[in-house]
Structure 1
Amino acid sequence: MLTPGASPGFLLWHATLRWQREVAAALAPLGLTHVQFVLLACTWWLNREGGHPNQQAVARQAGTDVKMTSQVLRTLETKGLIERETDPADTRAKRLRATPEGADLAPRAIAVVEAVDAAFFAASPRAETLTVLQALASEPAADSD
């Protein structure tokens, strides 16, 4: 049996908590929570790429639950950072667009989070850290029998 200090999962849990606290503290002056930031940034990025994504596309990009995404997007809409419009092709779907205020805030918030990331991960070699995190974040291939 591993001790907590030798358990990769336990260490990852604590590292994640520390990183999330640092990101939350950096975003607080901008009036965003961490999840609000992620969804605003994903919406803004998809808009910049020429898309007018629906809520499912933003949830997929962010890796978040669709219902939670919808609730947070409503909050971002209330804050005037995104607009949710009914899709003319599917009245059940909402298309998303960052407002001018959201489009101004998103890159500033991204810069703040990138600065936190740079400081947080400074102790580890960037290329190795990215390789490990990419491997951990990727979905395992489905078995084909």
Structure 2
Amino acid sequence: MSGPEQSPGFLLWHTTLRWQREIAAALGPLDLTHVQFVLLAYTWWLNSQGQQPNQLALATGTSTDAKMVSQVVRTLEAKGLVRRETDPADTRAKLLRVTEAGAALAPLAIEAVDAADARFFAPVPREAAVSLLRRLLDPPQ
């Protein structure tokens, strides 16, 4: 019988926790949590592509819970990083746009996370890591 150190799930759990600590340390000086970073960066990227997503599109695109997105977006709005506007086509929906401060912070945060990722994944060739993670995320049918 093999121990937990031979369990892929156990190793993934510990690896994920270590990676999350690295990302939190990288984002701490920018006063962002990991979830805030993901939602800010994704909104910034969509805005740069000419899109103004609503909160549901943001939740879908980031694979996060819609209620959590709503709460985190309110926090980002309170920090002056994101603006929520009523969608003229659906008054129940809120369209999202990064503010000037959010547009200045997003690239810095992305750079910090990219550097943390580079350090964390350095022992493994980037292409191999990306390939493995993609295969695990979307296995063949």
TM-score by length of 1: 0.93
- SS of the aligned residue for 2:51 comes to coil
Cα separation, 2, equivalents of 1:46 and 1:133: 23
| Unpaired segments ≥5 residues, structure 2 | none
The number of aligned residues is 141
Deviates more, 1:56-65 or 1:97-106: 56-65
Shift of 1:2: 4.0
Give, as a single letter, the amino acid of the residue that structure 2 aligns with 1:19.
Answer: W
Q: CA RMSD in A?
A: 1.2
The answer to whether the aligner puts 1:108 opposite 2:70 as a matched pair is no
* Aligned residue number for residue 42 of structure 1: 42
- Following TM superposition, the consecutive aligned residue runs of length 4 or more in structure 1 with deviations greater than 3 angstroms are none
* Aligned residue number for residue 7 of structure 2: 7
Alignment map for 1:15-94 (pairs within 5 Å): 15-94=15-94
- SS of the aligned residue for 2:124 comes to coil
Shift of 1:140: 6.4
| Unpaired segments ≥5 residues, structure 1 | none
- SS of the aligned residue for 1:13 comes to helix
Give, as a single letter, the amino acid of the residue that structure 2 aligns with 1:14.
Answer: H
* Aligned residue number for residue 129 of structure 1: 129
Cα separation, 1, equivalents of 2:23 and 2:52: 27
